Every structure is written in structure tokens, then in C-alpha cells.
Structure 1
């Protein structure tokens, strides 16, 4: 009995010690999380417009008996075609049980959205002040292209890469009311180029059925894509409310192709009329992009005709690479001697497969005809032959005259020497005769 009484006392003491700890744990630990409030979402909007900010009213309510939901926020999830404008969330503040609350969600739909999009709307909330949770509801919308009061066109539609391009933006008001306080931010993808000038672009007003042309400058990188979008985010006042519009027109990019001859050689240097000659060109593309399917051909020129093929196929040319080309022509025999210009056309395709061309003028000096040259050569040879015979006769005559002159000179010299000797002999004979 004493033992049982002692055990009962120990058990009572243990209960007295454990009771405060249990009570403390019950008051300070997490309370059981109630079941989800099962939000109900609905909207009367069934179709959204591409490239525009759409106002979508969302009605949200909780079932009977649910707690008041606090700090309720809505956001779009699980889609790449629709975005909530602003910080990405819309606040519904508090929602009382069995009551419906409507909030307006501004949703932008991209231009490449499909005709039907299904998006999830995330609901983040708090209940019983301390606890937070979230739910997701799915809503589907049809998507279509809607008429807008403002349209934009771009000129030119093909931009040259590697340089600053001046473009014209044509803003047209297609509506029946004036558009005021237009603010437009223009951009291109970072890898393709950049807009120059002040952003955003401001236009005070555009009257109904009128247009405004804006001159802007954009630098296109030399390695820009062959096609890329120009992005325009526009905010305007349509007479009743602020409206936001987005445009993403596509423009094309083409590199600079500048094919020029670095050297021109005529062989022979001065062709004769009726003869065959060649024009050798060393072509160099001093631009930023290569050309394909390059052909070179002389244009029709009076007095000259292609000898053989009318054109020469070169193929592809890379920038800063020299390519030799040779054209062979013949001139008419009736062509007069003088200086002529033969135009040579270079045809090629750019990266957009556009057929382009440039023309090079090649100066050519033509001498006399081949027949005239041959006649002149024969006459020269005949003249040289006759002239050589006359020279020979003249030389022989001069030699004869010289011989005669020498003989006469020697004869006179011999006579003079004989007379001198005779005079000397007589003088000595006179000295030997005795005087009386």
C-alpha cells in the first residue's frame, strides 16, 4: 500500500510539472492550417488584341464560411505571350467571404501570340493575419489583330549595316478623334544596333486622318542580323483615356558592298584597229559584306565587240579580298585611232539576294588599223631598201672622188718635187761654172 501511494504521488508530481510546458506549447506553436479558401475567378473578356494593352476585369470571390482573405494579389503565370503591365501584380487588398470583388488587370499581348492562349493567374493571399498561401486558376482567351488608332511605317525598309542610317517614322492617326500627348520609346535588339537621339520621342498631337513624319537616326552594327524587329512602345491619350500600344515591325539589314578595281591593265598597251586585246582587272570589295554570283561583262560600245564569251563569271567575293578578272575584246578595222572608254558592268547579289550592279569605265587608246600598219611597214622596208642602195652608190662615188683627189694631189706633189730637184740641180751647176 505504501508503495502504491508513493507511485501515485510521483505520477501526480510529474503531471503538475508537465502541464505548464504543454500549455505553453499549445499557445506558442503553429495553429492548424485551415483548408484552402477555394477562390473563384471569372471575367467577361473573351478576346484580347495583339500588340495592345488590354483591360481585363477579374472578378474574385471566396465561398461562404471562409475567413477574410487579406493582401490578395493577382499575377499572370505560365505564358510567354501575355504580361501584366507594371510591376507584374494587381492588388485586391482584402476579400470578405461570400462577397465578390472586381479588379482591373492591364494585360499586354505580344504580336507573335497564337490565336488562343491559356494563362494561369496566381493568387497570393494571407489569412488569420499570420499565414500565407497561394492558388492558381486558369483562364483562356482568344487573340486577334485589332484596329488601332495609330499606325507606324518605316522608310527605308532595308538598312545598311556598319553605318548610321537616317530613317523616317510615319505616324498616322486612323481614328476620328485627335491623339494627344504621344510618348514613344524606340529600340532595336542590342545585338543589332542602337537608336541615337533623345528617348522617348515626344509628339504633342496628331489630328484625325493625319500623319506626322519623324526623322531619326539608328546605328546598325556590321554583324547585325539579316532581319530584326524595331520595337516601339507608345503611350497616348485618345480623348477619353490613356492608351498603350506596342509595334514591332520587321526591317531588313544588308551589308556594304563596294566592288572597285584596284588595278587595270590593257594588253597590248595600245591596241590596233581590227586587232584583239584584253582588259585585266583586279577587283576588290572594300565594303563590309561579301557579294555572291559576281559576273563581269563589257557593255555594248560602238567599235568594240566581245571576243568569245560576253561575260566572265567570278562567283563569290569576300570583303577585302582581291579577285583577278580578264576580258577579251576586238575592235573594228574601221575604228579610227584615238582614245576610247569601254564601260564594264559588275553584277552581283547581296545577302538579301537582291540583284545589284556597278559600272567601271576603262580608257583604251587605239592606234592605226592592222592593214594600214602592214602597208606602212612594207613602205618603210621598201624605202629603207632604196635608201640603202642610194647610200651605197653615194659612198662609192665619194670613194672615187677621194681616190681621184688623192691621185691628183700625189701627181701635183710629184711634179712639185721634180721641179724642186731640177731647180736645185741647176743652182748647183751654176755655182760650178768658172767665171771669166
Structure 2
């Protein structure tokens, strides 16, 4: 059994970590947020990095501490509720949204400019796209070779070229901040960090990273955590480097782009202006390789998760995921986003709280503190969505950070500390009661 990794394996796993996380949303959202935030771009960037980089990194480390077992991670909130929460997470970040989104984004960049908005072309493209993913996903044990040693380096080189071009060639003036971001640039960054789904995706990709480490002979928990921290740190720095450049791209693109432009259009216009005739080919390659790698990781993670709980073989689950993804892809990206953003906004906070609280699970394992805190965040994130979408006009809670759609934060922290005080009050009460009996 190995106790240490070779440097080439550390780099390969770091590349794989980086490649899995930098998906379609990760490239689309930063330039769009940068354009909207304008002079406040770095406030938005900090918020974005919290939910799109820092929390996902913490999630993988938390999972490594549990030996890669999602069951151990969710155990403080109970098996039943934990499985429901994680199942919704896997379905949302899997075949019901994230996987189809990669296909749709790839189609819009690579095919749509040449064919126009035709359903038949989207259908044909999705069949070919998911056939590639299906073939690779049937062999999860070879992901380190497929992604870590081959696809990830290609993706990294393409993103490096894009980032360096932004550093040396992007010279526009920073745009003015649009009205909706003037008082909420930071929270806007946090919300858009949600939408990359990396905090949720980290629970899925974390298993791939940890299994890759185990495949190299790293079995002990301390070593798993050690190498998870190293590889996550390396990939995290690379991701931050890419994000910051994409934010800069958006915030300095006012000369060629209007502020109602989405992330895809920003990138498309930029590469055409920067790389000329080769711009479309470069962007097509970048988006295709980015989407393919992320889709493979998500498909394998989903299949492995449901294989543990369903009496169906891994290969059959892969086929089911692919079929569902093809069907949902052909519904259209805009409809997907409108439907799933409220769901993601609801389930992200409890998942984030659960991940953070997992580091305290040994202190509160025999209590209901973690369960109560997670439920609180779930309840108030649900209230956030109701208020934002005016689903029930009777509900109107003017909590701190309400305008920033983060009103769940304050009550969650409050309930957490109240639960701790209540717990220790009872502990002290029992101690005094036992002392009284003793005397």
C-alpha cells in the first residue's frame, strides 16, 4: 500500500479536479457578473469566489474526512432526511439540470451560429454529445487516465490561453455599475456562485477525486485529507486565476458589448475581436471540452450514487441518466434555468450549512444541533424564494440581508448558537443534579 503520491499523480489529480469544476456555468457567469457590476466588480468577485471556489474546496475536504462516504457526511441530520436532500442535489446537479445545460451551452456555441434555432439540430447534436459521454462514463475506473492525463490538460491549456489574452489584450475601461448591483454587488456574486452549482457539485466530484486517490493506494483518512487539501489547493488557485480574468473581461467590455448581454455572447464577441477568424474555432473547442469533462464527471457520480441505493446495475443507471439528459436538453436552456434556479436557491443553503457543520460533527454528534441548524437554513431559504417570486404575498419577513436574498443567514446563525446554549445548559444542569445526589 502506498503512503505517498508521485508528483505526476498529484498534478494529474489536481488537473482533474480543476477540469471537473470549470464547467459551462463557471465560464458563463463571471463575465456576465463582471459586466453588470462594473466598478464594483471585485466585491462581486469576492462573493462569487466564496460560493463557487472556497465552499466547494471545503466540501471536498469534509468528504475526505469521512473517507469519501456521503452517508457519514449526512448522518448528523438523519439517514432519511439526508438521503432526500442529497438525492435532490444529485438530480439537480445531474440529469435534471446541470448535465443537460452543458449540452445546451455547447450547442449554442458550436452549432447554433451555423444552423439557426432549429429543434432537429439540437436533437441530433444531443444524441452525438451524450453518446460520447455514455461511452466514457461506462468505465469510471479509468477517469484519471481519461480526464486527468488527457482531457484536463487540453482544457487547462485552452483556459490558460483565454486568461493570458485577457491579461495582455483586454484594455477597455471599467463599465458603470447597473442599478440592481449598486447596493448588492457582493450578494449578487454569491447568488451567481450558487448558480455554478459547484457547492452541490463538490459533493459529487469529491467522490471522484477521493476514488482517484484511493486508486493510487492512498487509503488512510489522514493521507486522504492531506492529499485532498494539496490537490484542491492547486486546482483552487487555477480556478481563481481563471475567474478573476473572466471578471476583468466582463467589467472592461463596455466598448464592444451592452450590459444586457449574457455570458455566452460576451465570450463570443470577445474571442472574435481578439483572435479574429480563429476566434470561433477556439471558443468552440474550449466550450466543448469544458462541457464534456464536466458532464462525464457528473454522470459517473450520479450513477455511482444511485447504484448504492437502487437494485439496478451501474451501466443501466448510466443509460437512464443519458436518456433523461437528452430529453431535458431538448426542452431548452431558458426554460431549464427558470425552473431550476428556485430549487437550487432552496437546497444550496442547507447543503452549505451541512458541509460547514460536518467539521463540528464530533462535538455535536449525539445532539440535534446540526439537524436543527440545517432545517433552519432550509426553511428560511424556502422563504427567500417565496418572497422573491411573490408566490405567497402574505409572507413578508424583513430580515437582515433580505434584499440580498440571504435572509436565511442570520436566523441560521442565531438558532445555531441558541441550540448550543440550550445543550450546554442541560449538560450543566445534569452535572449539578448528579452532584446534589452524590452529597
Q: What interval of TM-score do these two structures reach, taking the shorter chain for normalisation?
A: under 0.3
TM-score (norm 1): 0.18
| Larger proportion of helix | 2
Q: Which has the higher contact order (CA 8 A, sep 6+)?
A: 2
| Larger proportion of strand | 1
TM-score (norm 2): 0.18
Bigger CA radius of gyration: 1
